[in-house]
Chain A
Amino acid sequence: MRPTTTRRWLRVAATLTLVALALSVWSLLWPSVVSIMIAMSVAQVLGVAAIGTFAVVLALELRLDGAVRGALGLRRDGGAGAGASREARRSDGP
């Protein structure tokens, strides 16, 4: 996923969350039939959509991160991976 796409989807998730928060606060400070019903339905749907969007973005980021590390033969701790080790063994031969 390109960085601009990641940022765009994170902005979508943030905006959805902000709207959900606003609706929830409305029901807390000015409780009425309509505000409570909206907070317990629309706001919760928006919140779940935001968390889902965020989770998908994170999952794609992690997968991309893993693919890049795999291609470079790097371990997670920053050291040389399996490919690099093979190279090292070959150079240290008898």
Chain B
Amino acid sequence: MNTLSLLDPGVWVALACFTPAGAILAWFLIASPPLTPATKLLLLLGIAILPLGGAVSTTYVGFEATTERHFCGGCHVMTPYTEDAETRTSTSLASRHSRNRMFGDQSCYRCHADYGMFGLAVTKLGGLGHVYHHYLGGYRAMPVDRFLDTIHIAKPFPSSTCTRCHSTETPRFEAVRDHQGALEALRVGELRCTGAGCHGPAHPFSKHRPGRVDVEPTVTATSGGAR
């Protein structure tokens, strides 16, 4: 049992809704009471009102759970990424950001989430694509080494995600000569912060490896949405 989940008030709200609902339904199924208006009112509580309240809480808790790094690592092919992020001695961008409290255990989500108007829905849809590829696309049986060699990020990592926190208008940023020359290209998306020549790659496995075929991927697993 994940003890962290029990600290979430949403879990307790859901259980507080589900327990009486389950009791009402079990009573109806076992005792078969006469269908009086009171029975129907109880069924309204047990089938509709209480489960709806519990469903809202469960959805909230579920969405929160999908933003955790251990959730991303639930698929074995993601294990090297999550292990690197959790390694305190690693100097990769992902690991350094994971040690930041703002990212913490949600570091995958904080970097890979879409922050547009429909960001949450877009991110979750991307995650559903990952689930599809994992269970029906053959990645479930794929060895990790082969996965690292063949799977690419679906679309280039947007620098706008970096600049949400790292302002490009501070004296410290502007003091770096490379930044001055690259700023315009960065803003129009021609240059990326996570590029190998700048601050990347974000994950050690993103580097060009001998024998790796760097072609435009036809199937992608690690899209802009982390889950």
Contact = CB atoms under 8 A, between A and B. Distances in A.
B62 A11 contact: no
Contacts of B46: 14, 17
A31 B65 contact: yes
23 contacts: A3-B35, A14-B25, A14-B47, A18-B22, A18-B26, A21-B18, A21-B22, A25-B15, A27-B58, A28-B61, A30-B2, A33-B75, A36-B62, A36-B71, A37-B131, A40-B58, A40-B59, A43-B58, A44-B59, A47-B55, A50-B47, A54-B43, A55-B48
Contacts of A15: 25, 29
A14 B5 contact: no
Contacts of A85: none
A58 B40 contact: yes
Interface of B: 1-2, 5, 11, 14-15, 18, 21-22, 25-26, 28-29, 32, 35, 40, 43-44, 46-48, 51-52, 54-55, 58-59, 61-62, 65-66, 71, 74-75, 131
Contact of B51 (A7, A36, A40, A47): A47
